Chains A and B, each alone.
Chain A
Amino acid sequence: MVDLKSVKLDAGAPNISLWPGNAIAHDNVRGSQWAAKSNCKSNKCLGRLWVALLEVTDLRTHLTSRRGVNRAVKGVGFKLDTGKSLGIVGESGSGKSMTALSILRLVPQPYARIVGGSIRFDGEELLEKSEREMRRIRGGSIAIILQDPIASLNPVFSIGYQIAESVRIHQRLSGEAQLAKVVESLRRVRVPSPEARVRDYPHQFSGGMRQRVVGAIAIACQPKLLIADEATTALDTTIQAQYLDLLRTLQRELNLALLFITHDFGIIARMCDDVAVMYAGRIVEYAAVREIFNRPAHPYTVALLEAVPKVDIRVDRLHAIPGAPSSGYVEHPGCPFAPRCTFAIQQCHVAPPPLTTVAPGHTAECFRAQEVYAGAHRHQDSTDASARAGA
């Protein structure tokens, strides 16, 4: 296996940490397009390159408060292609939302700041864009759906007006064309009789329908990338299932790239091609979805998967993770998960763990990733679960 620590990266690039995205860029060509001509502006490639729609490199976002500096995002990197879906999964405070907000340059002002890294979208560096250019991109080629559909709609305007409003900012259209666009986006999200409903107000819709309207606003301007941050968490089980189906269909119809942010492995299992597991501001493991479920290589991923009670099998005792998630205020000399980790050895507490590639496209930041990947320490019932699932 290649240890990425030994791979020489461009010496001129400052502050290069070994982030999972690197490994993906060069190991994993599944579903990617190799660029026809070399228009690589990053100077960071090792030869051949492919240009992903979204390429986040060594992103660092800090928040300053009375308690000090909170390193919410500590060197995050990943790539996302058109038509693919990537899930970012992790517990509360791991930095998932800050990562998403950083991509849109919407981190809370004035105390949050993107202090380093690069975000390339569609071949352009978003961190160099002016605020005006960013406004055009937000809701245009990048759309975001947040957790609370009620908060994202204005109760005093009809939903038709609100969808048209987002179209107006990004496209110059006549009144008629605009209405057609609004009706079309409502139809796309399967709102029944859209022509009749454009004049209705948010309170006239049920919770599930309201979330669809938020979806209609998001896709009205034909985005290339759709970010969903806990977009279905507040929905009921059956409504959530309908909405997730809808997002999958839209993704196929519009060839969207989906960035799905969630704390729920069930959503990852249903929605994503690739998975990034976040802990304490870093992506600690990255792999294709089946790899993550069948052969996790990071002790945190193993522990999370075993801590979830299963719907499809009977589990007698859950393997709880001791302690509580680490905070971004604390600097760890070693692995941030070490205090809770059952695999931890002495060096875990003193040195940062290396990024280890355990299989093509599968990386984990852990001293013992190879052993964990080999599965020697896996508990019985989780093995049963994947065996059963595979059957």
Chain B
Amino acid sequence: MTTAQATAVGVATNGPPMLRVNDLHVFFNVRRGPLLRRKTLTLKAVDGVSFDVNEGETFSIVGESGCGKTTTARAVLKVETPTSGSILWQGRSLEDIDEQETRAYRSAVQAVFQDPYSSMNPRLRVGHFITEPLLLNSSIDRRERRERAQAALQQVGLRAEDVDNFPHEFSGGQRQRVAIARAIASSPRLIILDEPVSSLDVSIRAQIMNLLKSLQEVQGFSYLFIAHHLGTVRYMSQMVGVMYLGRMMELSESEELFGNPMHPYTQALFTAALPDHPDIERKDVMLRNDVAAATDIPGGCRLHTRCPFAKPVCSEVEPEWKQVGPNHWTACHLY
């Protein structure tokens, strides 16, 4: 069922997907409970996620804290090993590729995170930080690395001379530009953006989002964009996937999703989203209770404990993935 979804996405957008994530599961063993009666539990961080990222497009994952967005991204970055399911890069499973291809993959896929400062060494000039991904490619010598770093800095709106500055000499917004410079220095195909603007001030946030958009237009990067702010997602994306408790609930072309959200969870997210204007009234879909623990995911539809529309079948059977419109899929018993 999930493969059918992924295939359908590929067909609908004409052309082979650059990245395909197929029925991905990532589980962790965690020890929980009172000190002496501690038990090992399975935490299902990602529990059935499929999507495609197409060339030159932005696919966004939206969902609340702990729903598995970062874990999905880390699996794509080959930092986390899938418990099951597969990740295909240009049609080839990441499990099957050899060491050399892995190196090429690592330079083709880059990432920018929410807090770039924590990944920078405060004692090294940012030139080092920016050119680190280039070390994977032994044909690039030191001089060329420096030139590439300078070019990248200029592309992100900083000065070439800034290569010799230290991280603390930059403001928060400038540091995020440095992180983007690092991501683009190796001429990647796909950049994973995990909450890249969440910690920035409103005025700086717009600068960085516009920069990301122009870079995409000029250089054709694909983005896997992770965020919880819906306006940001709408601004950045062609396709959007909505995750809840490790699973994809709805996947759609972006404007279609914002115009016509189908899944109760998506509707609840939209209801809860802060309004752009005091007069905006939203369709009123409120969830009950708090989100369940990822170690104890409810059976049937995992939203049924909170869903205002739940029917008896919802607590029994996990809903199938259904196409509900061109480029629009959801998993819910209402459809």
Contact = CB atoms under 8 A, between A and B. Distances in A.
A363 B228 CA distance: 34
Nearest to A237: B272
Contacts of B64: 236-239
Contacts of B207: 320-322
A269 B206 contact: no
Nearest to A324: B171
A313 B228 CA distance: 17
Interface in B197-252: 201-207, 209-210, 213, 228-232, 234-235
A389 B275 CA distance: 10
Contacts of B291: 206, 236
A238 B235 contact: no
Interface stretch (B117-125, B146-154, B263-271, B312-320): B263-271
B203 A321 contact: yes
A41 interface: no
Nearest to B231: A309
B273 interface: yes
B210 A389 contact: no
A318 B206 contact: yes
A314 B232 CA distance: 11
A315 B258 CA distance: 13
Interface stretch (A8-16, A74-82, A126-134, A300-308): A300-308
Interface string A286-330: 000110010000000001100111111111011111101100000
Contacts of A225: none
A207 B276 CA distance: 26
A264 B235 CA distance: 17
Interface stretch (B96-104, B136-144, B277-285): B277-285
A307 B209 CA distance: 10
A270 B234 CA distance: 20
A315 B206 CA distance: 12
Interface string B23-61: 000000000000000000000000000000000000000
Contacts of B269: 237-238
Contacts of A290: 278-279
Given A238-B64, A239-B290, A293-B278, A319 B206 contact: yes
Interface size class of B (residues with CB under 8 A): 35 or more
Interface string A352-375: 000000000000000000000000
B242 to A, nearest CB: 12
A92 interface: yes
A240 B276 CA distance: 16
A269 B278 contact: yes
Contacts of A320: 203, 206-207, 209-210
Interface in B146-197: 171, 173
B226 to A, nearest CB: 14
A310 B278 contact: no
A304 B286 CA distance: 29
B76 interface: no
State the majority secondary structure of interface residues on B.
Answer: helix
Interface in A75-121: 91-92
Interface string A321-354: 1101100000000000000100000000000000
A239 to B, nearest CB: 7
A46 interface: no
A266 B232 CA distance: 13
Interface string B277-301: 1111000001100110000000000
Given A239-B290, A320-B203, A312 B65 contact: no
A385 interface: yes
Contact of A311 (B228, B230, B290): B230
Nearest to A317: B210
Interface in A242-280: 242, 263-267, 269-270
B80 interface: no
Nearest to A304: B202
A209 interface: yes
B275 to A, nearest CB: 5
A197 B36 CA distance: 24
Q: Which 5 A-B pairs have the closest CB atoms?
A: A266-B274, A241-B272, A389-B277, A309-B235, A321-B203
8 contacts: A91-B202, A237-B64, A237-B230, A237-B272, A269-B274, A311-B234, A311-B270, A322-B207
Interface of A: 91-92, 206-209, 236-242, 263-267, 269-270, 289-290, 293, 303-304, 307-315, 317-322, 324-325, 340, 385-386, 389-390
Given A269-B275, A311-B258, A318-B235, 6 more contacts: A209-B290, A236-B65, A238-B64, A269-B278, A270-B278, A314-B255
